[in-house]
Amino acid sequence: MVAGALLRPDRIGTPHGPHSKGVFGSIVAAPALAPTPGTGPTDRVSSPARSTVQLVNIRTFKSGDETTQAALYNVAAFSLPGFKPASAADVQKRTRGRAFDPGTRFYAEEGGQVVGYCSLDLAQRRVSVPWCKKGHEAAAEPLFGAVMNAARERGLKTVFAAYRRDWESVLRFLTDRGFSVRREVVNYWADPVDLPTLVNRSKLPIDRLRREDVPTVSAMGQGIVRVPAAELESYLFANPYFPAEALLVLRAPDGTPAAVGIGLESATYADVKKLDPLAPCFRLGAFGSEGLNVKRVNGLFSFLVANPANALTAGLALLSEASLEMTEGTVTALAAQCPSDAPHLLAFYARYFKEHGRFPVLEKQL
């Protein structure tokens, strides 16, 4: 799909035909018209039925779209559970970033009016569903098609989307188009007074992460950590939001990392008890959130372990050390986040933390 392409809503199909339940409730498309041989979707063909159909122009981002986009989202999503309104400033944080690619954000126009948008975050490989103004839901298909084409053209092999688990119409829109739930991301919290006496029962020494440890950490995080070893080193040692000193290593007798953990404390970060536990927000510092937009949460603890059988003892040892270093007095509750396809880590958090909520991550192969 190229920017500025004109599409006819009456020729927009879905995987299940012209009538489908979409993101915004029931979408009833106009009856599909058989194309005349030799004509394409943007051709104007003389017909009484076609004369009443509005053409949809799909274009890419241009300056000033931030306000329109926020308004569109707020109108389209306000009735969904847990809705939180967006502002133009929220959108500008993304569009003014150095990595923003205007060619990955698409807008649908009808009669010169913007009636919907859909986006691809290239760095994250994350897509949004199309958000459309009521009465213009037929623009959803060409918008989503433009985003998926942009992902393919840029060489992506997979894309993902993450939304609240109770946004059923949104999730159905994605699964109807070939997405499937790859994992759930589980949010936890714990009151420090409810934890058992935290001691290092492993008897292994704990010290700081070293640069030469990164390949081992990358290997123990296989299937969880989202970036390769070369990028992981930069993420851990040059992260603008936490110091490398926040990373702790439980060392095996031969000096290699047996487990690695992180503990974060900042009075400027969010209190986990005040967060929406179903919101699809990845948490800063949690292993598995590398390279993603994240929420900064005070008291965050996360860890990886080389031998899954040692998860309980290694996790307690690292949690004990991390808790001792949270000395500013601002942590009233500990936070954690874990992917559902890491059962040994889930078992640790289920034992010592309380599940707060979870959200699905859906993926599609391109």
Residue 208 has pLDDT above 80, yes or no: yes
Mean pLDDT of 142-150: 98
pLDDT score recorded for residue 54? 65
Structural domains of the chain in order of their starting residue, each with its CATH number = 5-178 (3.40.630.30), 185-365 (3.40.630.30)
**Contact predicate 192/334, CB 8 Å:** yes
Point out the least confidently predicted range of 21-35, 49-63, 280-294, 347-361: 21-35
pLDDT for 193 equals: 83
Query: Is residue 23 within 8 Å of 131, Cβ to Cβ?
Result: yes
**8 A C-beta contact, residue 20 and residue 77:** no
Owner of token pair 């935290």: 198
pLDDT at 198: 60
The DSSP symbol for 213 reads G
For residue 16, is pLDDT > 80?
A: no
In this predicted structure, what is the pLDDT of residue 197? Answer: 67
**pLDDT, tens digit (0-9, with 9 covering 90-100), for 247-266:** 999 999 999 999 999 999 99
Q: What is the mean pLDDT of residues 151-169?
A: 98
Give the tokens for residue 51.
């004369």
Kindly report the backbone phi and psi dihedral angles of residue 349, in degrees, each rounded to the nearest multiple of 5, phi listed first: -65, -35
Q: How confident is the model at residue 194 (pLDDT cuts 50, 70, 90)?
A: confident
* Percentage of the chain lying above the pLDDT 90 cut: 77
Is the pLDDT confidence value at 199 over 70? no
Which band of pLDDT confidence, cut at 50, 70 and 90, is reported for residue 97? confident
> Does residue 52 carry a pLDDT above 80?
no
Neighbour tally for 17: CB within 10 Å: 9
CA distance 203 to 253: 10
Decide if pLDDT at 41 tops 50: no
Q: In the chain, what percentage of residues exceed pLDDT 70?
A: 84
What's the rounded mean pLDDT across residues 257-284? 97
* pLDDT tens sequence across 282-326: 999 999 999 999 999 999 999 999 999 999 999 999 999 998 888
Q: Mean pLDDT of all residues in the chain?
A: 86
- Note whether 67 and 89 are within 8 A (CB): no
Task: Name the pLDDT band for 200 (thresholds 50, 70, 90).
Answer: low
